[in-house]
Amino acid sequence: MKQKAAASAPGKVILFGEHFVVSGRPAVVTAINLRAKVEVVLENDKTIFRSRQSWSSWSRKGEPVHPTPPKTSSFTPLYMMASKIMEDHGVSSCFRAEIYSDIPGGAGLGSSAAISTALARALSNLFGLNLSTQRLVEYAMVAEKEYHGRPSGIDPHASAYGGTLLYEGPGKFQPLQLGISPEMLVVFTGLKRKTSDMVDQVVKLASENRREFGELSSLYSEVFVRSVEALKSNNLELLGRLMTINHYLLRALGLSNEVVEKCVEDLLRTGVYGAKLTGAGGGGSVVAVGRTNQEAAVFSLLSSYPKAWVVKTSCPGVRDEN
């Protein structure tokens, strides 16, 4: 057992297939260069989680010390995951976890999965468990289920494996080798929302409108097939057009709103090849792929949003840090 360890994991952008992936259709996800880092240090009698915004602690016996119930902590899913890792490996220890993340929460960029995956890897190192990447995903899913209800698992796979993945379900994915990993624009609308609420909304809509949902899913499947061709051949213009079509399908599922529409329209007006909401929708972020000679127009637009990035795609997955 070490005294301390650290790991980081990337956030992600879903390029195609959010929500459709929950009902079993394949999606395309790429790891981006916004990361969450977690440092863990052995402690004597308390387990503490701390981020820039807040902190929580549990006694050695597993009782919440701060905040005390009835208030629940946003770190509870992480504590549950850590407890499961320790229980499965016969470890009984207290630790402090310091979380540093570039990824805003509730923005559709995989913040919770990046933190869970980085924490699982840091604990694996701290306790000398040598957990495989797939085991890290499985543990991150423990926290994801607490945070999101019924996650497809796409986020922890992207955080753990990195790169660009064709993702169908837990353990069912293929890395996609891209000739060039295009840079993309990611704009956070500033509207945070809960993934589980948006997923429930779509599940309800799908069960009440089976035929229409089936038709939209079939249209999505065609977009998916062409998106893989576009990615493999580095055809960014086609990729952008397909992203915009995917956005319209998500809009038909009721996942857009005025704020998201304005953001997509603003981006399209600058001449990008395409733009779509990414993640659960209802706010969150918009991703766009564009031509470089539009940069001036794009940058002046980006400054009018709360947060925006030109991100690298196909970035490395979870890794150890000092």
Q: Measured between alpha carbons, how far is 254 from 265 in angstroms, rounded to an integer?
A: 17
CB 74 within 8 A of CB 106: no
Q: What angle do CA 200, 75, 85 make, to 5 degrees?
A: 95
Of the candidates 45, 155, 266, 320, the residue annotated as catalytic is 155
For the CB of residue 243, give the shortest distance to ligand PMV in the complex, in Å.
15
- Asked whether the beta carbons of 168 and 318 are under 8 A apart, the reply is no
CB atoms within 10 A of CB 205: 17
Residues 91-130 that bind ligand PMV (CB under 6 A): 108, 110
Q: Residue 149 CB, nearest distance to ligand PMV (Å)?
A: 9
27 vs 126, which CB is nearer to ligand PMV?
A: 27
Q: Considering only residues 240-279, where is the footprint of ligand PMV by CB under 6 A?
A: 279
Find the shortest distance in angstroms from Cβ 158 to ligand PMV.
9
Q: Which is nearer to ligand PMV, 119 or 298 (CB)?
A: 119
CA 212 from chain centre, in angstroms, equals 28
CA-based torsion, 190, 193, 199, 205: positive or negative: negative
- Cα angle 144, 133, 243 (rounded to 5 degrees) comes to 60
Helix axes 133-148, 195-208, angle to 10 degrees: 80
Among 22, 40, 137, 141, binds ligand PMV (CB under 6 A): 22
Residues 160-199 that bind ligand PMV (CB under 6 A): 195, 199
Q: How far apart are the first and last CA of the chain?
A: 16
Candidate segments 14-22, 75-83, 116-124, 256-264, binder of ligand PMV by CB under 6 A: 14-22
Residue 138 sits in the site that holds ligand PMV (CB under 6 A): no
Of 30, 116, 117, 152, the one binding ligand PMV (CB under 6 A) is 152
Q: Contact between 18 and ligand PMV (CB under 6 A)?
A: yes
Asked if 155 is an active-site residue, the reply is yes
What are the structure tokens assigned to 39, written together?
Answer: 């440092």
- Among 10, 15, 19, 227, which residue sits at the site for ligand PMV (rule: CB under 6 A)? 19
The answer to whether residue 151 forms part of the interface with ligand PMV (CB under 6 A) is yes
Q: How far is CA 165 from CA 32, 49, 53, 250, in A?
A: 12, 31, 32, 20
Residues annotated as part of the active site: 155
Which residues lie near ligand PMV (CB under 6 A)?
Answer: 14, 18-19, 21-22, 108, 110, 151-152, 154-155, 195, 199, 279-280, 284
